[in-house]
Chains A and B, each alone.
Chain A
Amino acid sequence: MSATCRIRLTVNGLPVMAAVEPRLLLADFLRERLELTGTHLGCEHGVCGACTVLLDDAAVRACLLFAVQTDGANITTVEGLAPDGRLSALQECFRERHALQCGFCTPGILITAHALLVENPTPTRAQVRHAISGHLCRCTGYVPIVDAILAAAARLAANA
């Protein structure tokens, strides 16, 4: 076994210190060491999108990063989208529009949609479809997900 490395990072606004083996994937670190099991692991090779988290505000695959690489970084998981236990506008829209069924893909899609709306608060339907093209959902057929993201954009604009 290779030597462990010490890392310090911020996860959902809270400081974290840990000693990690270099091969520990960020997704496993979040789920097993920090017990943030909202980040799901599907394919473990970057295809399905279920493990998507924010790394310094950019949506990335947590299965294609090692925890050791996040020393000094700022990570946001799906738990960080509702820090006070209340659903965000985006999450409310997912619930209202039936944009999830089994929920396995949902955390990753919420992270991508959150990042999209921060970067582009008024996306077109085509832009939303392009943004979530890196996520597999086997339940919904995607249409309610696209509807929910557009509804969240409208709601956030109205409340701004």
Chain B
Amino acid sequence: MKPPAFDYAAPDTLAEVLALLARHGDTARPLAGGQSLVPVLNLRLASPGLLVDLNRVTELRGIRVDATGTLIIGATTRHRAVELSPEVARCNPLLAAAMPWIAHVQIRNRGTHGGSLAHADPSAELPAVALASDAELEIAGPSATRRVAANAFFQGLFATALGAGELLVAARYPAWPARRRCGFIEVARRHGDYAIAGVAVTVDIDESASVTATRVVLFGVGDAPQRAHAVEAGLAGAPLSAATIHRAATHAADGLDARSDLHASAEYRRELAVVLTRRALEQTLAPRRADAT
């Protein structure tokens, strides 16, 4: 189990990265944290001609909040940095709640925010959080930079809107409304293993605690994260209560694309979808401690 031979470049600037990707086309692969790519290389499931290491490009790393309250996370920011960031805890409590579920700390010390989003593993937490947060993905290309909404970015199994020669450079999470609550939960055989099923939710309420907007996103179930539109419709306009949640959550498997694999049957995943949706929504009944401060 040794990777095939490849050439290696470790440029210092984004411009150099983009030039290398443009020059080498499909044979080049960006290397961020490597926590998904290197296993694929070790197992010889891929054999790129050139790895373009992003780890020396300082402009791709960091967490900041702009004047509109948008949380901007650079593509090569380590998971561990996001997990421990006070800005993330304040500006997107859903993302903060999801971080400890991502693999194990040894992986989070190296794995990157953009790497996980661009890899688009169906079991990954961050695509679901991005979708539930209405995040935008910032993409740099040979000639221009563009932004793509999360719901257009994730296109299926390991498939994204990233085109030839393009690189995901940052994720942008819009400002968190004052009355937004959230929930996050997943099931895996061992904590930190790939999720068999998981749910990320946001619930916006008005002064009288009626639901004004929701996002209920299931992941690990099908080829890509999916919104449970029937659950969202069941919550809309209703008072946020245990009764509302229990009634709405029963629709979590309606129209759900669920797969069977070695870890679980589609039937089990559909059952988990209902139970986990209820539990994630129950987390919104009380504000998180971080929400209150």
Instruction: Tell me whether A69 is interfacial, beta carbon within 8 Å.
Output: yes
Interface: B190 (CB within 8 A): yes
The count of A-to-B residue pairs whose CB atoms sit within 8 angstroms is: 90
B4 and A23 within 8 A (CB): yes
**21 CB-based A-B contacts, threshold 8 Å:** A2-B7, A5-B8, A22-B5, A22-B8, A25-B2, A25-B38, A28-B2, A44-B1, A44-B42, A45-B38, A45-B39, A49-B104, A55-B110, A58-B109, A61-B35, A65-B110, A66-B38, A69-B34, A69-B53, A130-B105, A134-B103
Main secondary structure of the interface of B (DSSP, over half): loop
Interface string of B210-229 (1 = CB under 8 A from A): 00000000000000000000
Q: A61 near B6 (CB under 8 angstroms)?
A: no
What is the minimal beta-carbon distance from A132 to any residue of chain B, in angstroms? Answer: 9
Mostly helix, strand, loop or mixed at chain A's interface? mixed
A72 CB to nearest chain B CB (Å): 9
A100 CB to nearest chain B CB (Å) = 19
Residues of B within 8 A of A112 (CB): 105-106
Which residue of B5, B42, B104 has the most chain A CB atoms within 10 A of its CB atom? B104
Query: Measuring CB to CB, which residues of chain B are less than 8 angstroms from any residue of chain A?
Result: 1-8, 10, 34-35, 38-39, 41-43, 51, 53, 55, 80, 100, 103-107, 109-110, 190-192
| A138 CB, nearest partner CB in chain B, Å | 14
The reply on A90 being an interface residue by CB < 8 A is no
- Contact A64-B34, Cβ < 8 Å, known A45-B1, A46-B107: yes
A-side interface residues, number (CB < 8 Å): 31
The docked-state distance in angstroms from the alpha carbon of A44 to that of B3 is 10
